[in-house]
Amino acid sequence: MKILELENYLVSLGEAKFRGRQIHKWIYQKGISSFYNMSDLPAYLRQKLSQSSQISIPRVLKQRLSMDGTRKFLLELEDKKRVETVLIPQAGQNKRYSLCISTQVGCPVGCSFCATGQSGFQRNLQAHEIVGQFLGSKKELQKRLKNTDDKLISHVVYMGMGEPMLNYDEVIKSIYILNDPKGINIGQRHITISTSGEASGIEKLASENLQVTLAISLHACNNNLRDQLIPMNRKYPLKRLMQAVEFYLEQTNRRVSFEYIMLDEVNIDRADADKMINMLKPMLANINLIPYNEVEGLSYKKPSPQKVAQFFHYLSNGGLNVTLREERGGDIEAACGQLRSPS
């Protein structure tokens, strides 16, 4: 809940407004989920709240640790559905992490290369469940590392399971809660939302006046191929998607990123690079290349390092601002697109 909602909730219970602020601090700054442990509340109120209200922070059921320090947590929601989140250590020595969170259980988009897309769609997550992934993961990580750094998780990327724009309202609400300076306090510039190209959501986001980074999963620069990879393209083909991106750029003056997974023999030859250069050069966008993480049961292949380098150079010589995303957590199936919702 936003701080205002908590204050109003306490008033509706006949209590003082400031109690809402106290509780907010316990939940969002300290990750406390039991009213009994909120030591600055009077005993009668702790009891009253325990009987009338509930705080739910998802429980970490399982975790795996990769050789590169990436951790994957399996979290259980109230209705026993499960979602995965991934903690990725940042480069450098500051020992801080980026958290990759999910917005849906499964995903209805059904991209042909993605493990989540293959596992079907179960339901949208509510804002408290999205934020709960942060609180549950932070608590567990602090415990594991015996590190109470309040900023242990300093960045959040909406790149776990699900299509954020298909759960728009709850995603936006979760951003406001994560960003609240009196609560979790993640800077908006440290938040990235990735979409498979849901143009109407991009247009809505343009009007929110948020400083978050928008990342668009491009993966192909012609409609035939993009239709096969991302079924969302049939509803919002490239021309329509690019109109939404133009609108976003005009409204926000912010740079966008394009993610491009590299699939061997599918989308990384010279002609693909030329099309991308034509399409994106006028935009001053960042292009993030992601060598495909292979998924069991799917036939797409990761290209060789030579082919990856060649495609990278085509693009950068063509004047695009390109980066290559290093694979993290591949050994524990925590890399992009390897998340599933095991039941």
Active site residues: 84, 336
Binding to ligand SAH by residue 292, rule CB under 6 A?
yes
What does 336 interact with, of ligand SAH, ligand SF4, none (CB < 5 to 8 A by kind)? Answer: ligand SAH
Give CA separation, 108 vs 3, 166, 232, 292, 317, in Å. Answer: 32, 9, 10, 21, 37
Among 87, 153, 337, 341, contact with ligand SAH (rule: CB under 6 A): 337
Q: Which of 180, 96, 92 is nearest to 138 (CA)?
A: 96
Binding to ligand SAH by residue 84, rule CB under 6 A?
no
C-beta neighbour count of 318 within 10 angstroms: 15
Q: How many residues bind ligand SAH (CB under 6 A)?
A: 17
- Judge whether 184 and 29 are in contact, CB under 8 Å: yes
Binding to ligand SAH by residue 70, rule CB under 6 A?
no
Task: Give least dist CB 8 to ligand SAH, A.
Answer: 33
How is residue 63 written in tokens? 């975790």
How is residue 295 written in tokens? 């998924």
Q: For residues 7 and 129, which CB has a smaller minimum distance to ligand SF4 in the complex? A: 129
For residue 61, count CB atoms less than 10 angstroms from its CB and return exposed for 0-12, middle for 13-18, buried for 19 or more.
Answer: exposed
Among 15, 129, 163, 259, contact with ligand SF4 (rule: CB under 6 A): 163
Among 63, 98, 122, 196, contact with ligand SF4 (rule: CB under 6 A): 196
Binding to ligand SF4 by residue 119, rule CB under 6 A?
no
Binding to ligand SAH by residue 195, rule CB under 6 A?
yes
Among 23, 107, 131, 289, contact with ligand SF4 (rule: CB under 6 A): 107
What does 259 interact with, of ligand SF4, ligand SAH, none (CB < 5 to 8 A by kind)? Answer: ligand SAH
Binding to ligand SF4 by residue 74, rule CB under 6 A?
no
CA 72 from chain centre, in angstroms, equals 14
Q: How many residues bind ligand SF4 (CB under 6 A)?
A: 12
Residues whose CB is less than 8 angstroms from the CB of residue 85 and which lie 6 or more positions away in sequence, other chains included: 72, 73, 75, 99, 100, 101, 102, 133, 137, 160
Q: For residues 8 and 126, which CB has a smaller minimum distance to ligand SAH in the complex? A: 126
C-beta neighbour count of 181 within 10 angstroms: 8
C-beta neighbour count of 278 within 10 angstroms: 11
Q: For residues 66 and 196, which CB has a smaller minimum distance to ligand SF4 in the complex? A: 196
How is residue 246 written in tokens? 């133009």
Interface residues toward ligand SAH, by CB under 6 A: 113-114, 159, 163, 194-196, 217, 259, 261, 290, 292-293, 295, 336-338
Interface residues toward ligand SF4, by CB under 6 A: 107, 109-111, 114, 116-117, 161-163, 196, 337
